[in-house]
Structure 1
Amino acid sequence: MAGSVSNIKLWVLILSAAVISGCGDAPAPQQAVLPSVIVNTAHKEMITPKSEFVGRTRASEDVVIKPQIQGQLLKRSYVEGDDISAGDLLFEIDPSTYEAELAQHQAVLKQAKASRDVAVMNWERGRRLLPDGMISAQDMDELTSRKLTTAAGVVQAEAAVEAAKLQLSYTKVFAPISGRVSQSEVSLGDIITPQTEMANIVQLQPMWVNFQIAEKALITAQQQFSKAKEKEIKIEDLVMRLRLPNGTMFDEVGHIDFIGNRVDAATGTLPVRATFKNANSLMLPGLFVTLVVESPITENALLIPQAAVQEDQQGRFVMVVNEQDEVQKRVVELGERFGVEWRVLSGLEDGDRIVVEGLQKIRPGIKVNPVEQEVVPFKEDEKS
């Protein structure tokens, strides 16, 4: 019995020693792993400044066809929706009334010429008889008056004939400009009056694009243009490109041909107009388009990826990793976009490391493990 107790005590001592030994050899706790983030370096690059404006296309000429006389419509001579040329016949109005009026005035003209010829012969006869005293001076005055009156009657009758011919010519309605004609607003047999809108023609070449510039952008543009004048750059040198409603770029370059002389007090904008040749008549009036205005001057600008930009109540900001690999929040002022990059006006410097991936894992003040983003160079022969 005494031996059993001794064995138990011995095992207790052995187990106690093992526990104490195990506690003494426990490994030290591991250090926390720093979150990894992808960073991109803010860099300077030569860029061409540009601005975008929403505009609307407008026909350079937009004519409503109205007749100048009244009558019954006899014929329509064009295909609705076709491109037509100036001088093409569009409509014909019943000419019978105006032909009768012309014939009447022509008869009056013949009568007036006959009266004038008689008055001229009488005047010639009187002129020969006056020196011999065969007629009195008063009679000669009456002959002269008659000659002048009948001559004026001929002029009046000729004018009436020309007016009648003009009215008759109005029975045929011709296109005043070249362009695309609308559908007819009248039907054959309708009684047409000078107030009747018969059709519409829009001139598609060139095409105008009207847009508005906000007063803030206007002042900035004027300041930049004042500097550009020193380099002999004119308003005509601005490159005007057009993004169509389907997102594709129009294949022509336009130019500004009108700038308003007053800022609209209600909207705070200035009206501006650009002109495009529209050689293929691709653009039609009334389209909403995006006008891309490119400066002829290149600038050295600081650029960062759009993916790095966030926004809160204070405005736009980015997360910057400093030399100690600590995260800092920087409020930035941004300019225009260039592809997938944004121009930085203030808040960053060339060489700053900007977090572009892993933003959800970080906050200002913590340390991170920054990994530089790999930029794959673009190759023209690569296909998307």
Structure 2
Amino acid sequence: MIIRNVRVFHEENPVHVRLESGMVMDVYPADPAVKEGMDGHGYFLVSGFTDLHVHGAGGADFSCGEAEKVIQADAMLTRLGTTSYLATTFYLPDGPNDHLNILRDLFHSGRCPGMKGIHLEGPFIAPEKRGGILPDRIAPYKRSILEDITNTCGDALKMMTIAPEIDETESIIRDMKSRDIIASFGHSNANAEETRQALEMGVDHVTHICNAMRPIHHRETGPIPEIVNSGATVQIISDGVHLAPRMVRFLASLLGYSRCVCITDGMLSTGLPDGEYVYQGKAFRAKNGEARFIHDDGLIGTNLSVREIAARFMHFTACSLEDAVRTVTENPCRVLGTHPFHDCVQPGSVADLLLVDQDLNLHHVWKDGNLVV
């Protein structure tokens, strides 16, 4: 298949792109005489977007324990332009954890082609910074629990959010690193010193910065300055609610665009109309991109695609289209270790592609070279 008359970031002039066997086979100067394939109308052809932190979509969540529902969520995310993601969920210290067995099996089967692994929020997090995580998903660190987690998830477990002030921090970080599990700082009440030590021990990623962690104080500075001064990549929910637009711009100016990873923290209502839904037995309301528990109005996530999050990031920071796209392609792919073949349009790249305009409106989606939308 040929996608003709498109722009790609590393080429000055329009190009044609040839796809074959799920790969980008060739990128060459556009020839107006060529009429074969699909006309891209001069829009930008970019890699499919990656979301490292999403709980579900299309009426299904990754914690539901039903394979067909998980596949349903995967399909919706693809239609929304999220062609790669980490299925974000929890571990129940007292069990059962059948939902993790299902996610692991789906990851290996290829029936959820967008799933690049599992991201666990907890259980080794601070109860006082649990946010929307229910109390039965939290436990103090025990090696036996970590062993059960890794035995259950196997190599599908790619990331785990931990609070570094927990006991035996160095041991758990070392264990995770030895298993190629990304240790992500989050849902933590750590002070500045505890944060600095964790970063020095090998924590190199941060779960939704500013949310579910101590704020900056002029005497006890908390974790945020330590994170900024490290080399860690940082998840940003740039919806204008979890983080105010000015805070998004401020963080981007401190971190630089190369360390910003836009994520959704998206709920099962993503891709569906505003209304009331149920997550893990608790009712929540989806409205204007926000997801809030009905009983206490607590903010639990978004109903936005990662494309919409990146578009807001671009608006809030006044960055270029290329920099905004980088926050949902190159940057998360570097975190996952799938760079460069999942985050650029060049011969040899995976043909997970989006056709977008200058404002990041979505026109078409290809998954493994097949037109989806």
Query: Normalised by the size of structure 1, how large is the TM-score?
Result: 0.18
Q: Which has the higher contact order (CA 8 A, sep 6+)?
A: 1
Query: Normalised by the size of structure 2, how large is the TM-score?
Result: 0.18
